[in-house]
Amino acid sequence: MMARMSRASLEKDPRDVAAMFDDVASKYDVTNDVLSLGQDRLWRRAVLDACAALPGERVLDIAAGTGTSSEPFADQGVDVVPADFSLGMLRVGHRRRADLAFTAADAMRLPFADASFDVVTMSFGLRNVSDPDAAMREFHRVTKPGGRFVLCEFSQPTNGTFRTVYSKYLMRSLPAIARTVSSNPESYVYLAESIQAWPDQRAMAGRMTAAGWEQVRWRNLTGGIVALHHGIRPL
């Protein structure tokens, strides 16, 4: 009998979300590359540039998964801590890059001291947290005064026609493609639903400000499919 694959709901129970990512860990990076048509590599580069981390600075990469988002920091001599609550993802990452300090962590209850990072960054993970606002307050807690928070997350295309086409891709084409490349295609139905339900760029900036971040700004990537938000912890 075929095992039933895990699929989270928009209630985002942490156990369900972690189990879902455990299921997709082995093919996660390849699947993302296919489904994003290679754009994920450009998005990672944009995050690296926005963080502007220098050698000797300490970066928390939360929801790092298998560590593909952390590798560019490490390769530039930055002290990066890849953290995730999916143990399956962490195991895959550790097998590939044993030199990275993979850490099990819940975004809403981080196992780090106050003011212990120069930069906190999160890519495509906040949408999966049951209480994103609590998570952003927690990121604020572990960031040093004057430090920065860079959030890379799916958002809303700015062009109306493109937004309609993209919505059809999310709800129809993406799950179909996932069935051919993913170890858990049902998880990509959740992906499409969670993207559709996520706040737009301006609303996300407002929530960052409410969590204590200042000088919040954003930059659209790939026509607004993804938005890169940046905030500073006040001195």
Per-residue confidence at 181, pLDDT binned at 50, 70, 90? low
- Encode pLDDT of 150-170 as tens digits: 999 999 999 989 888 888 877
**Rounded to two decimals, what is the model's pTM?**
0.85
> Residue 200 phi/psi, 5° resolution?
-80, -175
Write the CATH number of the domain with boundaries 14-232.
3.40.50.150
Predicted confidence (pLDDT) per residue in 214-232, tens digit:
999 999 999 999 999 999 9
| Pair type for strands 58-62 and 117-123 | parallel
> What contacts 24+ positions apart, CB below 8 Å, involve 195-204?
195/127, 195/154, 195/170, 196/167, 196/170, 196/171, 197/10, 198/127, 198/153, 198/154, 198/155, 200/155, 200/156, 201/155, 201/156, 201/227, 201/229, 204/151, 204/153, 204/155, 204/229
Determine the pLDDT at residue 40: 84
CA distance 4 to 25: 16
Predicted confidence band at 3 (pLDDT cuts at 50, 70, 90)?
Answer: very low
Domain boundaries, given as residue ranges, for the chain: 14-232
